[in-house]
Amino acid sequence: MKTARYIFVAFAAIGLLASVLLVAGPGKGGDKSYEFHPRSGDKIYEVHPEIILPEYRIDAGYSIDAYQLLMDRYMSMTEDNLVSLRDDMQNVFRKLNSIDSKLDELSQRMTKIENALGIEQPAIQEPTAGKKFPDNQIKTNTESN
């Protein structure tokens, strides 16, 4: 719609300029001034038309601007989400460190209690390669009955 308006304004300006040049004849003395009325020999006016038309843009230009705005908003939204994710991950790491330190304290307390009561600590077996647990440690409900 704006394109049609710009074209109309351009044609109107060209028509105005052409009508001014057709009505006004060349001035006396061969200079570049023009008379507006053929009977007025003593009044000479100089016309310097300056027509400024706005920049002509096609639909692709508007599409590119809209895409650039969309990408700017998307990048801003992504950055905000990453900052939020970083804050959440820091909270999770703090909580895991707290849980780890409490488990260490519990393990130390259990070791002290077992030593005080004379309870023998079970030996920890390392799993064999390719198996998660040795066969003798896996018991199902049917085997235990």
Residue-wise pLDDT for 108-145, tens only, equals: 999 999 888 888 877 777 666 665 555 555 555 555 44
Quick count: other Cβ atoms within 10 Å of Cβ 13?
14
| Alpha-carbon dihedral sign for residues 16, 19, 24, 25 | positive
Quick count: other Cβ atoms within 10 Å of Cβ 102?
10
Provide the 3-class DSSP secondary structure of residue 92. Answer: helix
Q: Which residue in this structure is represented by tokens 């052409």?
A: 18
Q: What is the pLDDT of residue 80?
A: 95
The answer to whether 18 touches 68, Cβ cutoff 8 Å, is no
The answer for residues whose C-beta is within 8 angstroms of residue 38's C-beta and 6 or more apart is 25
Enter the tokens of residue 90: 């820091």
pTM: predicted TM-score of the whole model, two decimal places: 0.38
Regions of the chain short of the pLDDT cut 50: 27-35, 144-145
CA 108 to chain centroid: 51
Q: Which of 9, 15, 87 is nearest to 53 (CA)?
A: 9
Q: Which of 44, 40, 55 is nearest to 6 (CA)?
A: 55
The answer to whether 64 touches 48, Cβ cutoff 8 Å, is no
